[in-house]
Structure 1
Amino acid sequence: MTTPQRHSWKDIRDRIHARILDRTYRPGDKLPHDEDMAQTLGCSRSTVQRAMQDLSESGLVERRRKGGTHVRPEPVARVTIEIPIIRKEVEDLGQRHGYQLLSRAALPPPAEIATRMELSAHVPCLHVRALHLAQDRPYLYEDRWINLQTAAEIDSVDLCTISANEWLVLNMPYTRCELRFFALAADADLAKALHTSPNTALFAIERTTWIDTQPITTVRTIGAPGYQLSAST
């Protein structure tokens, strides 16, 4: 008697993906029901559902309630960008991380920040500016606002010994994130902090996170000249 082979959801995902690539399932085709797919591939229905979820998140298939699963006529290319612990990001490059807390103040958010966070201008926030170093050279400048109603505990954290970035990643999981990427010209303060010349073009990332409907933080990080961002598909 032989024992049926166990398949992980990743195995099933890859097999379905292969059938999409070889045009067994063509663009626009409706895929078999999950139960039928599970029987064909020799796995559980829940395994197929997890595989389909990943294919949907990757933009290859579209799942509709009561409408079934279809191969997208025009697959959507998507990438995954994780919110990094900047200390670990620097160390993964084989470099020594350094950190300087430049300022910390409890302030009402200015109108631009309140709008970005979908927050009342009267909600107390913590404004933090910091500089991350790699091999004692500027790496990333951080300008952050934190909602003290959502992340009240950070008000008692020593941000000289742990960055707001690291504390929030470890302690405040989010359910929604908005990202914006752009270039900006260094003003005098940024040029001094990042050891570059005024008007140098710098890469900036603006990121805002929420837990359900409650804003957690909004941050603008600005890389020193040569900074690179990596993502995976």
Structure 2
Amino acid sequence: MTTAMRLSWKDVRDQIHEAILTGRYMPGDRLPRDADIAEDLNCARSTVQRAMQDLSDSGLVERRRKGGTRVRPDPVTRATLDIPVTRREVEQKGSRYGYQMIRREIKTAPSRVLGVFELAEPQKMLQVEALHLSDGRPYILEDRWICLRTVPEILDVDLAHQSANEWLVLNKPYSRCDLRFYAESADDQTADLLGCGTESALLVIERTTWVEEAPITTVKAITAPGYQLLTRS
């Protein structure tokens, strides 16, 4: 079935979700290929990939690289976490957003970044370090690597005035997102930038995104003391 209007990824997600709930796709069933769904619904393949990723994050389907997508035989309920635009996050709290770019440099990615991206061969990427502010106070310090083979257009963005976080969320849809949460003690440099004491326990959020098998970005976001994270289920 085709539609006259272009569907958003949420529209596609809801249609697939309904098909699962009504039994059109049963537990264990393999779903059509993303490309076939995109053709059937008259939407972009990236739209279907984003919808499928949300269903996967919600625990309704399981996706395997080169193995397709299946309805989970034992669906689970999970909290979902969208990648936020930090500016909106700050403004929604009624605070004034600020942004400072600390460093922007093209360099060979270290082995840690290549490992996260699941890459074997060294390549040059864009590293961006930036500080997000809330009412003039440090909010989030981020150290980001962007794959230039996947996102060459980032080089034309004025990252001194628009954060890579906001540009990527708005302009580079992803089909897969890996998240890690942990705490680490602030070193001297981090403590100075975040205005906290050395050895303060800080929440760290690491995010890595891909479109199909192509890496987009990986970021280590270190949050200031008192930062709170909300998920929905």
Relative to the length of structure 1, the TM-score reads 0.71
Give the ranges of 4+ consecutive aligned residues of structure 1 lying more than 3 Å apart after TM superposition: 32-35, 53-62, 68-72
Shift of the 135–152 alpha-carbon distance from structure 1 to 2, 3 Å rule, reads same
Shift of the 33–163 alpha-carbon distance from structure 1 to 2, 3 Å rule, reads closer
Structure 2 unmatched runs, 5+: 1-12, 26-51, 63-69
- Shift in Å at residue 77 of structure 1? 2.8
Relative to the length of structure 2, the TM-score reads 0.71
Output the CA distance in 2 between the equivalents of 1:56 and 1:162: 31
Please name the residue that 1:154 is paired with: 154
Output the CA distance in 2 between the equivalents of 1:128 and 1:98: 16
Contact 1:109 1:121 in 2 (8 A): no
Task: Give the fraction of aligned pairs with identical amino acids, expressed as a percent.
Answer: 49
Contact 2:58 2:80 in 1 (8 A): no
Please name the residue that 2:183 is paired with: 183
Shift of the 34–117 alpha-carbon distance from structure 1 to 2, 3 Å rule, reads closer
Structure 1 unmatched runs, 5+: 1-8, 18-31, 36-52, 63-67
The alignment of Structure 1 onto Structure 2 pairs a total of residues equal to 186
Within a 5 Å distance, the mapping from 1:15-54 to structure 2 comes to 33-34=23-24
Please name the residue that 1:101 is paired with: 101
- Shift in Å at residue 210 of structure 1? 0.4
Contact 1:108 1:121 in 2 (8 A): no
- Shift in Å at residue 57 of structure 1? 6.6
SS of the aligned residue for 1:198 comes to coil
1:191-219 C-alpha deviation (Å, 9 max, x unpaired): 00000011000000111000111000000
Please name the residue that 1:129 is paired with: 129
Shift of the 142–34 alpha-carbon distance from structure 1 to 2, 3 Å rule, reads same
Output the CA distance in 2 between the equivalents of 1:190 and 1:56: 35
Output the CA distance in 2 between the equivalents of 1:184 and 1:33: 45
- Aligned-partner residue type, residue 144 of structure 1: R
Output the CA distance in 1 between the equivalents of 2:162 and 2:214: 24
Output the CA distance in 1 between the equivalents of 2:57 and 2:216: 24
Please name the residue that 1:202 is paired with: 202
- Shift in Å at residue 70 of structure 1? 9.1
1:150-201 C-alpha deviation (Å, 9 max, x unpaired): 0001112110110000111111110011110000000001000000011000
- Aligned-partner residue type, residue 178 of structure 1: D
Shift of the 160–76 alpha-carbon distance from structure 1 to 2, 3 Å rule, reads same
